[in-house]
Structure 1
Amino acid sequence: MSDVGVIFSLFAGTLSFFSPCVFPLLPAYITHLTGGKMEDNKIMVDRKKVVLRSVGFIIGFSMIFISLGASASFVGKLLMEYRIALMQIAGLLIIIFGLQMAGFLKFKFLMKEKKFEYSNKSKSMFGSVLLGMAFASGWSPCVSLALSSILLLASSTDTLNQGILLLGFYSIGMAIPFLVISLVLVYSLKVIRKINKYLSKLSFINGVVMIALGFLVLTGQMQKISAWLSIYNLFPQ
């Protein structure tokens, strides 16, 4: 499952960053992290500080996400006897999450938001790590649907390392655009307004991909695809 799962995890992490309930708040996150101010249509702060504090924030949310992945994989191993049933349940839930994210379903209980407040501004690298952990502990509804799908996928992996790998790539998918856009905001806030126009379309794309993944897991085709890729990799072109 790792070949297809890793690609999906990376993709899901990137689209989670561009979700309507995360991306528009990025300027607020950056000013909170760095203590900078928004003036002249940009964030007034030293670029080196943006990089260092952003890295701290990324480390923080990655620690939480990867820990969740390890936990999900560990539970899955304990229930290995019911592996097929668990994979079918996971596939069905991923399809439901995908339908919700794409806008085909409107279940209110899936849109409840977990809150974890961290009111103090970050004044150090350690503070940035704590803020990243707080963000991951109180993620918004948009992120939780994609993240829950990755956790379900992690719970059906063969080893603990595979579960950690999936959530590691999910974190990378969020980390790369977070760092890049954070640096861009030092020069101009216009990028936020431009990308905001396409957020609903990105959410729909993420939902469709999740639905497709859910069907692969539900029908057992995920293993067949990964097995084929593994065999193919044994014979380099």
Structure 2
Amino acid sequence: MIAETVLHGSLLLAVPLALAAGLVSFLSPCVLPLVPGYLSYVTGLSGADLAARRRARVAAGAPGGSGARIETADEVLQRRRGTMLAGSLLFIAGFSAVFVAAGVFVGGIGGLLLDYAEPVTRVLGAVTVVLGLMFMGAIPGLNREVRIHRVPGAGLAGAPLLGVVFGLGWTPCIGPTLAAVQTLAFTEGSAGRGALLSLVYCLGLGLPFIAAALLYRRALGAFDRLKRHYRAITVAGGAMLVAVGLLLATGVWTDITAFMQRWVADYSTVI
């Protein structure tokens, strides 16, 4: 059963696309600038706190200062790295629960509508093309942001709830990529495969959060450099969505899937 699921022809195409869609979502202007805030939220350690600590160290070392030993910002981050990692994992678990549940539902609906899969897939493909253009900002008026602004209390206890809020909130950056992944989940016609694709999307979106938690200071510098390339990132991500939408709308996706299913039909795993 595992081999049938993993080596299913359409999954061989859909899984890397879902992973890429999650990464594009993370790099989008709606998410990337908020990462330091999310990490500060779950750890209770903000940039202002680190700046105040630096000022206190300078004051303590100045003539007439107390001379007391005060932890450096790097020492504080090192000490709280475990907390930041745990908070990131809980945050990811929160939005993953939302997205995977959606994948199960959409995949299950696809299974119930197998007799109408082709026309529905073509319509969803056309919608995905529109979402790709929307992601690139090529459709004026569709880039409003609607987000749930009430959030739970800060700290590890609130991290998974914050993830759920993040998953339920709608932004024009996450919406198109997530909708494209759910379209692929529908074409799978299986709740299990829909869940798998959504989970892979969550990995693409969540793994950079973990990397940011482990390499906080370096990650902030890398994010600043990436911000200068937002336009290229959104164009590339939108182009990927448009390409997937065109494959679905024209039926080429189905043809490629059928070919890959025949290609892997005789493959067998070692175990």
Aligned to 2:119: 85
1:227 lines up with 2:239 in the alignment: no
Q: TM-score if structure 2 supplies the norm length? A: 0.79
Q: TM-score if structure 1 supplies the norm length? A: 0.90
Q: Secondary structure at the match of 1:122?
A: coil
Q: Which consecutive unaligned segments of at least 5 residues does structure 2 have?
A: 1-9, 55-72
Hey, what's the Cα distance between the residues in 1 that align with 2:211 and 2:234?
A: 20
Hey, what's the Cα distance between the residues in 2 that align with 1:235 and 1:185?
A: 43
Q: Secondary structure at the match of 1:189?
A: helix
1:91 maps to a residue whose letter is G
| Residue in structure 1 matching 2:148, options 106, 109, 116 | 116
Higher relative contact order (Cα pairs below 8 Å, separated by 6+ residues): 1
Aligned to 2:236: 205
Aligned to 2:206: 175
Change (3 A) 1:155 1:235: closer
1:18 maps to a residue whose letter is L
1:131 lines up with 2:162 in the alignment: yes
Greater Cα radius of gyration, structure 1 or 2:
2
1:73 lines up with 2:107 in the alignment: yes
Q: Secondary structure at the match of 2:188?
A: coil
Q: Deviations over 1:88-125 (max 9, x none)?
A: 1011001111112123322x2x323332234343323x
1:185 maps to a residue whose letter is Y
Moved more, 145-154 or 89-98: 145-154
Aligned to 2:220: 189
Q: How many residues align?
A: 233
The Cα shift of 1:186 comes to: 4.2
Moved more, 45-54 or 191-200: 191-200
Hey, what's the Cα distance between the residues in 2 that align with 1:235 and 1:121?
A: 51
Moved more, 180-189 or 54-63: 180-189
Aligned to 2:173: 142
The Cα shift of 1:235 comes to: 5.5
**CA RMSD of the aligned region, Å?**
2.1
Is residue 59–residue 132 contact of structure 1 (8 Å, CA) maintained in 2? yes
Hey, what's the Cα distance between the residues in 1 that align with 2:219 and 2:193?
A: 39
Hey, what's the Cα distance between the residues in 2 that align with 1:196 and 1:133?
A: 26
1:22 lines up with 2:31 in the alignment: yes
Q: Which consecutive unaligned segments of at least 5 residues does structure 1 have?
A: none
